[in-house]
Amino acid sequence: MNLSSELQHYVDAWKNEDDYNVQFHSELTEKVNRDPMLKRHRDWVEQNQFGFGDRAFGWVWKMLVDQMPQEFSFLEIGVFKAQTLSLVALLAKNSGKKASVYGITTLENTRDVRCQYPAGDYRGWISQIHQHFEVTHPVLFVGRSNNPTVVQQSNGFAPYDLCYVDAGHDSEDVKHDILQYAPMTKVGGFLAMDDASNLLNIGSCWPGLEQVSEAVRDHLENDDRFKHLFACGHLRIFQRIK
């Protein structure tokens, strides 16, 4: 699959250097702020405490959705309040594409070694953000990502054009998610890994978590089916090449 000119530009330009990555992150942040739809979505997420991550990530998702075929599928492993699910759906709608959107979630404030989340109505929150931005609700697989039933349900809709791993942050959880869900990515498709840049040179950007980054190094970087394209802050993008 040939990359769009913009995505190819950033793939070619990316460097594992502090100064470059600070500039790259800043450039994509400004792109989001100049785009009314992306800015509105991110502003709402921040004002209503509906997600984490960086504002710059909005442009990464835009480039990936721009790269998608007219009909595509997206799987997020580890949904919080559906910031990314709703954004992918909104980007697809705005570009006239049909997106089949799936998410794995416990619908609870499941914590891990590094993160603790608020108690509340997660199904209601997921519904709220989709209703607010007037996009189709996703299909949810309910349970932990390492639940065999959840893996089986997810695999039933594979392969996916785009996968996003952002579930547990323990080493074994990340290892499991890479081994189980990365192969569900379609050849030519893309795999995004959150919290995964701790071992890279990304300057003042938040690098993510050491255990996640080590799992990516040990179980994804050495997988010749995948090619690392670039990192934006703690978000790393890979393409499945075979």
Q: What is the pLDDT of residues 15-59, one digit of tens each?
A: 999 999 999 999 999 999 999 999 999 999 999 999 999 999 999
CA separation for the pair 177, 78 (Å, rounded):
10
56/167: higher pLDDT:
56
Closest CA to 169 of 104, 110, 238, 239: 110
pTM: 0.96
Instruction: Note the pLDDT tens digit of each residue in 75-122.
Output: 999 999 999 999 999 999 999 999 999 999 999 877 665 667 778 999
Domains of the chain, with CATH numbers?
5-240 (3.40.50.150)
Q: What is the pLDDT of residue 108?
A: 86
- Which pair of tokens denotes residue 7? 């995505």
Instruction: Note the pLDDT tens digit of each residue in 146-161.
Output: 999 999 999 999 999 9
Mean predicted confidence (pLDDT) in 131-152:
97
Beta bridge partner(s), residue 99: 72
CA atoms within 13 A on the CB side of 88: 28
CA atoms within 13 A on the CB side of 193: 35
